A and B are shown apart, each in its own frame.
Chain A
């Protein structure tokens, strides 16, 4: 009894944590709730639905795959919440089934509502007019049939359907009554459209899923053999294979093997249309090496993430949110070189409200500026046709020293990253393929420029990837600076990750896996100490996930000391807030809205000094111990003011915010009084626009004639 009490004071007990997987599923549930939200326009809701499906696919591949491996290896070690892998797998599967049922129920509702607005998702070919069917038959024969390649399968003819790819399975009437029915798989490859838009006399947008068309024309596909049934299905394969770096002498070759492997790994889930007969499902599970428990029968289109493609359909603007166009930051004149502007003082951008253009411009300027000696950058996830990568290639080609660390271990982006790495290398850049046994997740770009008064280092730090496509969808913070100490630290970081030097002590930056954990713990302890001395003590943190046991324990202890802790956590949160004697001073809110919340911002009151940081790291064990991450103090008054104001807005939201309760449930935040309820993303957009228009108004009224540009003289010294 006594010992137990003692233990409680140091390490929290199991019931004091929420399970990480279930917490993630709750996040997906919140996205699903946005899809259910009648206040959200219909096509946006359809988009959210498709996001939940694609999220769930990834979760299944990585997390369920991982759990299954642990169960298969008979590992019984419990997680912080006290659950064994098997218990987690059972709970997760139950939760997923409920979620899948909710998804299809919602799809029905949305389809009915959308149909009222002339956006018709047709379930079957029968519902089409004769004319439409005639058109569809031609379409099938011309554009679909030639792309189909059915494969007969059986015990002696194993065929492994590709993961996440939609297939149809056909069973043929056996030639003799004592024979088993023959099975044919038809992959519906990525070259085929998932939904086919049918011309409509009434001007409606009518879509039909491809598997329905194939089923309708199945006779043509199997050349008239009698068909028992034709059912769409999809398998999911385990993707939780950590790269065996040590075994692979050539990392690049290793990565390609891994990608090939991913196609070959074990099935963990079968989704199949409910109309499949029991015999067929049994045959399928046997064929794929699955249990009945891994089968998800769905009543509707198998695979919902492709719904995203039809949400882009032209027209129907009344069914969408009015797009929030990124606003040019008032702190940046995009027509001028970035360097003198950064030299004027640090610049902080809040994306996507502040346009991402200055970041692309920064790298592009660096490539073209004759005074720039070197560009060094970490790339984690890049866009497919990335202006940033193009600029780096251009810089390398004209002989600048370009060093790029491309993280080949960035999950699901490996293939793209390999091809980008090859192109950069061909251009003459020095490419590093990540760091042994650590994923490089830091977002940093360093430009070394020779100026009249000497070498000046310009650095961009970010919380999000150098990906101009996702930068319009993710909310992130970026910071430009040319402060000496930050520049010197940036050089040291690159020298360490390129292996030029051993990691050294840094002046301003904190780096995982070396110092972020200890500095965060120290900062939390410092607040706790102040609270114990009856000082005001506050911690405000915004991040995507909080699951590290050590950090959570420190927050509990700070809460007990009296520190007011406000957390804004979009996704996983294993901390149980509001439990008396443990976390009554902690509140956790989550915002799921138009943009994906992605910024990491940390504020520690520190007696009123307000230590402010931005970071690439979430408070997850893997980020703190197994990745190279950066935590950057924000020091300049302007950026600090802007960042503090931004952080505050996230805690005023009462439209999209939900509060985490001690039971793991998320409940809507109640609006305060009669005030106009604040929606954080809308408010941030409004502020960005207001700042930009203020700048516009105060601009001198001058007409700008187009002048011939001369790159030599345009460069400012």
Chain B
């Protein structure tokens, strides 16, 4: 009895959540319910085709008619959100990075936000891969999932303008990559008469070499990988090949994943090539714009599978929208998975540039210690904590290029590192914080600093101040001070090492690098010397 009432207390009231994503060819919304901490139960899905990608290919801008169409779609989505009483502010709304190609993407998103009162976040290419990674976790909730988490899995999403690839090993992200190759682009070339429909595969082959090359170089055994095909057209094909009452048109989300042979896909492609678009619309029961994209998407998928030498592949009903949902369920966008993944990338990057790993770990540890100690003062979020941690881990990588001005080299190396799941703004923040780990304090004359929005500039100063102190405390890179306790009072920060060693180098460094800390936190830094 008692136990029951306890669990009842623990159970949180279910909340309804929603994610909306704008892709190159469709706008989609998922409404789900968070019933426990683990799963989002999907209540409704609405999807409508839009010609955004087509507009972009034709004129590099989204036409007024399309903007209007999207606004109307969002209006109708709002009605559904209202029905469930979901506040518009809590809707996770994202737009595909390909939108960035359009000259008017910012105005477009502003217009949508103005009509729908939903703010859209333009994703970075790396984030798409990350969300696919999260979506993939949903498969883990199925029965045969353990299989999919074992070994190497490659997720290939064939989109309208881009293909996104995610490589997972033992359930962790290996790498993510975006290629500018997509079903719409191929379709466009077909329409321009560059080649005949039957040559689709040949055309795709010319483009997928890059993908195959990357796979060969980055996975352990390219022949034994599991290739998961994702994307709308793939789901149509999956439903067609594995007809079931439950996937009349599109692979049912509940179905999860089906396995098909590359030969089957090829036969399907040949059938489509023989039919007119009208026939596909009628027989497959898909919309006209969707029907046109199935063959190009299939040819890309077949081409990749063949070049890599796979006989069979998987088609999954998941989309990166499911990943967005997963993230929402976890409560904060800065999930543990995300943190672990980002740190893994950071450490791998550090190794790549042959930094002093022990020093990097020590500085990171001390930085986090100080960050947590000063939490009330700086009021920064967990997201900033991770930015500081990564900046600390990578602050010295620029030395790989040259010891001279290595902080500058650090900055651009970080800028050019792909962290799946982090936005470019966040990566920039890491780069700038790391840049200020030594030498000059942030100045308005530094372009990287002045380019930041004011609130981010403040964050840089707060975090760099901490990083500089932490770095000073391992001046000689030998972790000789061991564990350090900090004592904070109104006027000073006293650092108390656990070991009694000569501390002169650190003392000098602290005086020198504690400058920003003193400005930002109003406290002088001392090293407690028991001698």
Contact = CB atoms under 8 A, between A and B. Distances in A.
Given A448-B83, A455-B16, A514-B285, A498 B47 contact: no
A401 B82 contact: yes
Interface stretch (B60-68, B73-81, B141-149): B73-81
A491 B250 contact: no
Given A453-B35, A455-B16, A515-B248, A499 B43 contact: no
Contacts of B45: 492, 501, 504
A239 B251 CA distance: 44
B425 interface: no
B250 A500 contact: no
Contacts of B33: 454-455
A423 interface: no
B77 A500 contact: yes
Contacts of B246: 505, 507
Contacts of B250: 504-505
Contacts of B85: 373
B231 to A, nearest CB: 16
Contacts of B285: 503, 514-515
B249 A505 contact: yes
Interface in B277-315: 285, 287
B254 A507 contact: yes
Interface string B330-345: 0000000000000000
A436 to B, nearest CB: 14
Candidate in A502, A515, A519 with the most chain B CB atoms within 10 angstroms: A502
A374 interface: yes
A506 interface: yes
Contacts of A519: 245
B46 interface: yes
A495 interface: yes
B14 interface: yes
B84 interface: yes
Q: How large is the interface on A (under 10, 10 to 19, 20 to 34, 35 or more residues)?
A: 20 to 34
Contacts, number: 74
Interface in A482-513: 488, 491-492, 495, 498-508
A401 B250 CA distance: 29
A401 B395 CA distance: 55
B84 A455 contact: yes
A68 interface: no
A503 B76 CA distance: 15
Interface string A432-455: 000000000000000010001111
Contacts of A374: 83-84
B44 interface: yes
B178 interface: no
Nearest to A402: B83
Nearest to B317: A505
Which one of B14, B33, B47, B80 has the highest number of Cβ atoms from chain A below 10 Å of its Cβ?
A: B80
A582 B76 CA distance: 51
B80 A495 contact: yes
A514 B283 CA distance: 10
A495 B83 contact: no
Nearest to A499: B76
A147 B246 CA distance: 63
A451 B76 CA distance: 25
B76 A500 contact: yes
B252 interface: yes
Contacts of B16: 455
Contacts of B83: 373-374, 401, 448
A656 interface: no
30 contacts: A373-B83, A373-B84, A374-B83, A401-B83, A430-B79, A453-B35, A491-B43, A492-B44, A492-B45, A495-B46, A498-B76, A499-B76, A500-B46, A500-B48, A500-B79, A500-B80, A502-B48, A502-B49, A503-B249, A503-B285, A504-B250, A505-B246, A505-B248, A505-B249, A505-B251, A506-B248, A507-B246, A507-B252, A514-B248, A519-B245
Interface of B: 13-14, 16, 33, 35, 41-49, 76-77, 79-80, 82-85, 239, 245-252, 254, 285, 287
Interface of A: 373-374, 401, 430, 448, 452-455, 488, 491-492, 495, 498-508, 514-515, 519
The 9 closest A-B pairs by CB, nearest first: A501-B46, A454-B14, A505-B249, A374-B83, A401-B83, A505-B248, A500-B76, A505-B250, A491-B44
